[in-house]
Amino acid sequence: MKNLIEASLTHTRTVLSIFILLLISGWVTYQTIPKEANPDVTIPFIYVSIIHDGISPEDAERLLVRPMEIELRSIEGVKEMTAVASEGHASVTLEFLAGMDPKEALADVRDKVSLAKAKLPSESEEPEVHEILMEDQQPTITLTLSGNSPERGLLTLARNLKDELESISSVLEVDVGGDREDMVEIEVDPLAMISYGLEPSDIIQLLSNNNRLVAAGTLDTGKGRFAVKIPSVFETIQDVMEQPVKVVGDRVVRFMDVAKIRRAYKDPTSIARINGQQAVSLEVKKRAGENIIDTVEQVKHVVNEAQKRWPEHVRVDYTGDMSKDVKMMLSDLQNNVLSAVLLVVIVIVAVLGARTAFLVGIAIPGSFLTGILVISMFGLTVNIVVLFALIMAVGMLVDGAIVVSEFADREMSEGKPRKIAYRHAAERMAWPIIASTATTLAAFAPLIFWPGMMGEFMKYLPITLIATLSASLLMALVFVPTIGGLIGKTRPLSAQQKLDLALAESGDLTQIKGLLGRYIRMLDFATQRPWWSLTAAIIFSVLVFFTFAVSKLGVEFFPDVEPNGVNIKVRSYSDLSIYEKDVIMKEIESRILEVPGIKTLYARTGGKDQVGTFRMNLKEWDERPPAENIISQVTEITAGFAGVEIELRKDENGPGGGKALSIELSSKFVDVLNSEAKRVRQAIEDDGAFRNVDDTASKPGIEWQLKLNRSDAARFGADASMLGANVQLITNGLKLGEYRPDDVDDEIDIRVRFPHDKRDLGRLETLRVKTIHGQVPISHFVERQAAPKVDTIRRVDSQRVVTVNADMKPGEQLAKALPRLQAQLEEQGLDPRVKIKVRGETEDQDESELFLEQAFVVALFVMGIILVTQFNSFYQAFLILSAVLFSTVGVFLGLIVLQQPFGIVMSGIGVISLAGIVVNNNIVLIDTYNVLRQQGLAAKDAILRTGAQRLRPVLLTTVTTILGLMPMVLQVNIDLFNRQIDFGAPSTQWWVQLATAVAGGLTFATVLTLVLTPCLLMLRDRAR
């Protein structure tokens, strides 16, 4: 290391050139590196979807789900397999262990699906296998088209715009919300069917035989070669209309003679509106690794160009713009860096002078830009977690630079030339700074191995910190000494200051005046009574932990951040048509629109097991009341709707998602499962700490079953397939075939059914089928019955499950409410045939808590090894590690002062990062003590002289770190570019727990470093 420092100082032009290259390269990389909202993590889920039109949930479970489960359960690395069977559809989702190879897993699943396909009904569509990707989870931006236009007009504009947006290279796909499938609808009058003796099976056969591509081959006559074609594929609706369906004598009956044929949409399953107006939404998803800010700008440019060609009354609204969050984070980063540089420079100017302050100040941008350059070289992108790590690193980058600069300033004050002073400072403090940086990196390195989805998100944090802190080491030992050797200059000192410096080096310490003198006298008093100091520290620590325990501040998983929007679900248990649901949604919508603070309200009617959903996009946080107030107001004005459940949920923050509490009940006895789920739900509702309670048990409802008497049907030559084909004429329509018109990409269905006024329940009684005895009413061999409806069947690892979910009320914590709820459920005595498993946030919380505890222990061991290597002393290594443990007292003290709960993720990371920071000052202190002891000083004298020499750098590094974090602790965002100061902005709420943990812990740990560490060194000497 000494050779490297000497080489740097003797080749200043080379070092300066490299420094400038790093700054320019880092700045260019910062401008061009892709910026994303969320890290591009591998989501360990693969989804298999099977469509079977009209199949019931029970049949879907038996015929679709079970055969698929049998094959898929043999795949290695599957953590959990969940399945859902619903009307017309079944799906199986496989969750793999984190870290799996997605390509290998996808190939395994496809192989097993191919085997299972042979066991599925022939009418089922081809099973589709999808890999769930991060970019699929949340749109980059959503835009809505609304206005006083016909539905087909809006949809046409949306489809054309979708094609234009998907031509942008950074856009993965665009989903059109509120889109409806096209079809060719053939309306046949029942009387016409009877009078012409038409049977659905006859129509299907005629159309399928005439709507096909016939390759008739080629004809070679010896004098030429010609292709022979029989054009027979339907190309227009006219082709369908002219299709013969019956021949009576020499007269041909065509479709147009007995039916009305038109291009139409399938029956709606959803209706969309924005701010009360009919709307269509386009959800734009970007490709992984693409720049979110550039992508959104390109999307808006394409939309603006397209809008010039549209009617004036068509309006475009943008919602869910994720680039805003990234811009906000980048702005926070820049403001925090600038604030930190200014605060550091102000402190250093006051203590060491302007030139030294400049040297320390350039270490921050130098470390940042070099770190970003390294991140880019490893193929990473800038995302919220990386930005979070960079903001967190602000106060940690200058420690080494301060220690070197302070030592050099002391040397120059004694009259040494600046080049020699900085070389001596770098050489003398090299190993303490390397050991300090190594211990800090050792604290963060275990976080790279964080398991699960949370780990996939958070691993970017240690990687970023390792890159920037390694760069700060280079700044402290190479670039700062080199530049200092060129421009370094000590500040003007008074005679007393010069005397104090000389006395601290070698003189009577009792003659030192001011703060340093008072500290030495206090240290002299403490080291005479080291056991008293240690006992006082232990008693104080116990009191702090006890105070936090009785304060009921509690524990939370992730910080509660003011959201940008609120999602509302509206549920009802009755069998409502889409139009009845829309009436309810319109009434609720009209009330919500009166609430102040809402920017846009997007309503979507329809969906499985629900009336519909609303998306409330709120105004900027400083232009409206807090989101909780708006939620309370909406809850109050929508409370009077009988038979309707309305659930309001704020936007989720960070990885994970879903409700805080999820209780999973599993059993082979379906009736018991549903009844016990209702009891659990009632217990949760009665507790008072929860809200937004829902469950997946079967809801009240009916379905009509046509019971076929096979014996009676056989007498008429009828069967189930004949019955089904005729019944479809009353329901969704009988599919005759498909054709591909020029104006759409996919084939569209050709369906035949009765006119709208002849499609009702009564028609099931009068429906006739053609048999060997002529037209016979189906009532001769079919009995119509109403039966309880099965909504959706859910399975986990091949067992039926029902889950009960709930959110926490404001101010409530799951860690406190869950034990109370579990005790209550045990008292109730649930059926032993039902297994209960608590999932949701508590499952993620326990996993993260366990890992962070293990990571903390591993970090302590690795730091211990580094310290033993540095000092060759188990006692001194243990002494420094005890300071790390004591520093956690400061963390809880800070939380008590600011009245905040302990955050598993944020405060946990804060404790681990604090461990690395606290070690630094202790290393520098003990290293100086060891050097003085080697020079022959007695233990007491060496301790006091160490305190005299190291007080200034210890206070400087502590004050600069804490000042860098104070804006986040106080939730203040200082925008230096726009000359604006914000208090309590949502962006600051992310960091407050972590910043509080580090600032509080470091404040307390510094007192321990300056007082308790010398006392423990004294104890060691007395023991000898």
Let me know: does 245 contact 203? Beta carbons within 8 Å. Answer: yes
In sequence order, the β-bridge partners of residue 708 are 782
pLDDT of residue 654: 58
Let me know: does 655 contact 452? Beta carbons within 8 Å. Answer: no
Backbone angles phi, psi at 964, to 5 degrees: -60, -30
Quickly state the pLDDT bin for 503 (edges 50, 70, 90).
low
In the 8-state DSSP scheme, what is residue 62? I
pLDDT of residue 974: 78
Dihedral (Cα; 270, 275, 278, 279), 10-degree rounding: -70
* pTM: predicted TM-score of the whole model, two decimal places: 0.74
Let me know: does 262 contact 185? Beta carbons within 8 Å. Answer: yes
Quickly state the pLDDT bin for 573 (edges 50, 70, 90).
confident
Query: How large is the average pLDDT for residues 143-167?
Result: 87
> Which of 133-147, 217-231, 293-307 has the largest mean confidence?
293-307
Task: Report the alpha-carbon distance of residue 903 to residue 553 in Å, rounded.
Answer: 10
pLDDT of residue 18: 92
Cα–Cα–Cα angle for 169, 172, 175, rounded to 5 degrees? 125
Quickly state the pLDDT bin for 799 (edges 50, 70, 90).
confident
Cα–Cα–Cα angle for 690, 692, 694, rounded to 5 degrees? 105
Cα–Cα–Cα angle for 294, 295, 299, rounded to 5 degrees? 115
Task: Report the alpha-carbon distance of residue 618 to residue 600 in Å, rounded.
Answer: 7
Q: Which of 634, 605, 604 is nearest to 618 (CA)?
A: 634
pLDDT of residue 134: 62
pLDDT of residue 209: 74
Dihedral (Cα; 933, 935, 938, 941), 10-degree rounding: -90
Task: Report the alpha-carbon distance of residue 1024 to residue 1015 in Å, rounded.
Answer: 15
Q: Which of 939, 937, 951 is nearest to 514 (CA)?
A: 951
Q: Which of 895, 906, 693, 904 is nearest to 808 (CA)?
A: 693
Backbone angles phi, psi at 410, to 5 degrees: -65, -40
CA of residue 983 relative to chain centroid, distance? 25
In the 8-state DSSP scheme, what is residue 127? P
pLDDT of residue 249: 76
Let me know: does 615 contact 565? Beta carbons within 8 Å. Answer: yes
Q: Which amino acid is at 584?
A: I
Structure tokens at 76: 């290695």
How confident is the prediction for the chain on average, in pLDDT?
Answer: 83
Backbone angles phi, psi at 383, to 5 degrees: -135, -175
Percent of all residues in the chain with a pLDDT value above 70, rounded to a whole number: 95
Q: Kind and range of the H or E element at 394?
A: none
pLDDT of residue 304: 92
* 705 contact partners, CB below 8 Å, separation of at least 6: 784, 785, 786, 787
Let me know: does 447 contact 911? Beta carbons within 8 Å. Answer: no
* 447 contact partners, CB below 8 Å, separation of at least 6: 458, 459, 461, 462, 855, 909, 912
pLDDT of residue 497: 64
Cα–Cα–Cα angle for 61, 66, 70, rounded to 5 degrees? 165
Let me know: does 694 contact 645? Beta carbons within 8 Å. Answer: yes
Q: Taken in order 581, 587, 591, 594, is the CA torsion positive or negative?
A: positive
Helices (H), 552-598: 578-592
Counts of helices then strands in the chain (DSSP H, E): 36, 34
Q: Taken in order 40, 45, 46, 50, is the CA torsion positive or negative?
A: negative
Helix axes 480-487, 418-444, angle to 10 degrees: 160
Let me know: does 186 contact 243? Beta carbons within 8 Å. Answer: no
Q: Taken in order 334, 338, 344, 345, is the CA torsion positive or negative?
A: positive
DSSP 904-947: TTHHHHHHHHHHHHHHHHHHHHHHHHHHHHHTT--HHHHHHHHH
pLDDT at residue 656 greater than cutoff 60: no
Structure tokens at 135: 């970019």
Least confident of 37-41, 363-367, 618-622: 37-41
Task: Report the alpha-carbon distance of residue 504 to residue 410 in Å, rounded.
Answer: 10
pLDDT of residue 48: 92
Task: Report the alpha-carbon distance of residue 844 to residue 657 in Å, rounded.
Answer: 10
* 997 contact partners, CB below 8 Å, separation of at least 6: 891, 894, 895, 906, 907, 910, 911, 914
Least confident of 399-408, 498-507, 511-520: 498-507
pLDDT of residue 494: 64
* Structure-token match 């969940």, residue found: 82
pLDDT of residue 21: 94
pLDDT of residue 181: 79
pLDDT of residue 556: 77
Least confident of 104-113, 266-275, 868-877, 998-1007: 266-275
Q: Which amino acid is at 733?
A: G
Task: Report the alpha-carbon distance of residue 55 to residue 66 in Å, rounded.
Answer: 15
1012 vs 510, more confident: 1012
981 vs 63, more confident: 63
pLDDT at residue 655 greater than cutoff 60: no
Dihedral (Cα; 603, 606, 611, 615), 10-degree rounding: -20
Helices (H), 277-317: 292-307
Q: What are the strands, taking DSSP E only, across 639-756?
A: 644-650, 661-666, 690-695, 702-708, 734-739, 748-753
Let me know: does 849 contact 904? Beta carbons within 8 Å. Answer: yes
pLDDT at residue 517 greater than cutoff 60: yes
Quickly state the pLDDT bin for 1023 (edges 50, 70, 90).
low
Please, what are the domains in the chain? 1-36+328-492 (1.20.1640.10), 44-132 (3.30.70.1430), 182-265+702-788 (3.30.2090.10), 503-558+873-1024 (1.20.1640.10)
Instruction: Note the pLDDT tens digit of each residue in 276-330.
Output: 888 888 889 888 778 888 899 999 999 999 998 888 888 888 887 888 877 877 7
pLDDT of residue 710: 85
pLDDT of residue 29: 92
Q: What are the strands, taking DSSP E only, across 376-426?
A: none
513 vs 125, more confident: 125
Instruction: Note the pLDDT tens digit of each residue in 941-957.
Output: 888 888 888 788 888 88
Task: Report the alpha-carbon distance of residue 491 to residue 6 in Å, rounded.
Answer: 25
Instruction: Note the pLDDT tens digit of each residue in 331-354.
Output: 776 777 777 778 777 887 887 778
